[in-house]
Every structure is written in structure tokens, then in C-alpha cells.
Structure 1
Amino acid sequence: MRILLNIIWLVLSGLWMAIAYCVAGLICCVLIVTIPFGIASFRIANYALWPFGRTVVDRRDAGAGSAVGNVIWIIVAGWWLALGHVVTGIAQCVTIIGIPLGIANFKLVPISLLPLGREIVDVP
């Protein structure tokens, strides 16, 4: 079931959201200071391509630097990526078949706003 949902996700919204994360990552990597944000964006792009069967957990070793970085991330790219997930999630929840995909979009909103200090892991 995860594979089928991931394939439908990839076609309907995963590819487009991953492209948005890659664009944000490229912009962040052009500016030398924001390279850690670019790396986080590429990590989330991978998660946005294939989200079913994976989840996000907080890292215990994340400190104050992650909190400051998350505030900067929200200003630089986080708000419009989260907005993309919200709009896409609402559009997908219009149909009964799209409801699981819409829920997955809403599941990606917190990591799109606050990516630093979190880790993407496989669900057993």
C-alpha cells in the first residue's frame, strides 16, 4: 500500500514539491552562509518525493544553533514551502482518493517550517 501511495504521491504532488525544495536548496547553496539550509532543503526534497513509510523525529543533540537557524529558515524559504504544502493538501483533500495525500502534505508542513534539529527515519 505504501508503494502505491508513494507512486500516486510522486505523480500528483511529490515531484513538484521536491523541485521547489531543490530550488530553495540551490538558492541557499549559492549564498555561502546558508549552505546548511541548502543541505536541509535537499534532505527534505528526498522526503517529499517518497514520504509514505518514513517519519520525522527530533534530534536530541540539536541545540540553540538549530533554533536560530530555524528562525532564519522561516524567513528565507520556509513560509512559502509550507504554504505550498497547505495549498496542495487542501486541493488533494477535495477528492476521497486524495485525502491520504492531503494528510501527507499536512504532515510535511512542520518540517518545511522548522527543518533543522530534525531527522527523517524509516517507519518499521
Structure 2
Amino acid sequence: MSFLGNLIWLIFGGFLVFIEYMVAGFLLCLTIIGIPFGIQAFKLASLALWPFGATIGYKPSAPGCLSTIMNLIWLLIGGIWIALTHLVFGILLGITIIGIPWAKQHFKLVSLALTPFGREIQ
């Protein structure tokens, strides 16, 4: 099921979301200040490419204060808009019975889009 879900996800918009996150990551990596945020955009891109079967967890080491500060900066700069976009798509897909599996994947992306620092994709 996860292969079929990922394939349908990829065909119907997942690849475009992946490209958008990759472009944003490359643009953020052009500056030294933006490199940590670009890495988080790449993390979102990898989950946006194959979301079925992937889980999001916290890193084994304690994230610490720097991770919290970076998450706050991420949230204020653009993370809230990314999360709201995935939330809206998740709600729209969740209205239909057939779209519920894809809605769950958007809700997974909401979680990572809000606080990407200190988290990993497993």
C-alpha cells in the first residue's frame, strides 16, 4: 500500500511540492545564514517526495536551546505559512473518504513544517 500511495502522491502533486522545497532549500543555502534553514527545507522535500511509510521522530540527543530558537525563527519567517498550506490541503482531502490517506500525509507535513529543527525522518 505504501508504494501505491507514494506513486499516486507523486503523480498528483507530490513531485511539484518536492521541487518547490528543493528550490527553496537551494536558495536558502546561497547565504551562510540561510544554510540551517535550507537543510530543513531539504528535510521537508524528502518527506514530500515519499511520505507514505515515513515517520517523524525527535533526534536521540536532546535538541537544546538552539533548536528551540531556530524553530521560533523558522515559524515566524515562513513555517506558519507552510504549515497552514498543508493543513488546508489536508482538510480538503479529508472531506472525501477516498482522500483520507493523503490528508494524513499532509497532516504529517504540518507537524514537520511547524518545528523541523531537532526532528528527523525515520
What TM-score do you get using the length of structure 2 for normalisation? Answer: 0.89
Query: Per-residue deviation at 1:27?
Result: 3.1
SS at match of 2:95: coil
Residue of structure 2 equivalent to 1:120: 121
**Residue correspondence of structure 1 range 22-61 to structure 2 within 5 A:** 22-61=22-61
- 8 Å contact kept, 1:24–1:77: no
Q: 2: distance between equivalents of 1:53 and 1:28?
A: 28
- 8 Å contact kept, 1:21–1:81: no
What TM-score do you get using the length of structure 1 for normalisation? Answer: 0.88
**Runs of 5+ in structure 2 lacking a partner?**
none
Q: Structure 1 pair 31/76, CA: closer, same or farther in 2 (3 Å)?
A: farther
Residue of structure 1 equivalent to 2:4: 4
Instruction: Note the alpha carbon deviations across 1:93-116, whole angstroms, 9 max, x for none.
Output: 232211110111011101111101
Residue of structure 1 equivalent to 2:106: 105
- 8 Å contact kept, 1:89–1:103: yes
Moved over 6 A (4+): none
Query: Per-residue deviation at 1:76?
Result: 2.1
SS at match of 1:31: coil
Q: How many residues are paired up?
A: 121
Q: 1: distance between equivalents of 2:17 and 2:79?
A: 13
Query: Per-residue deviation at 1:5?
Result: 0.6
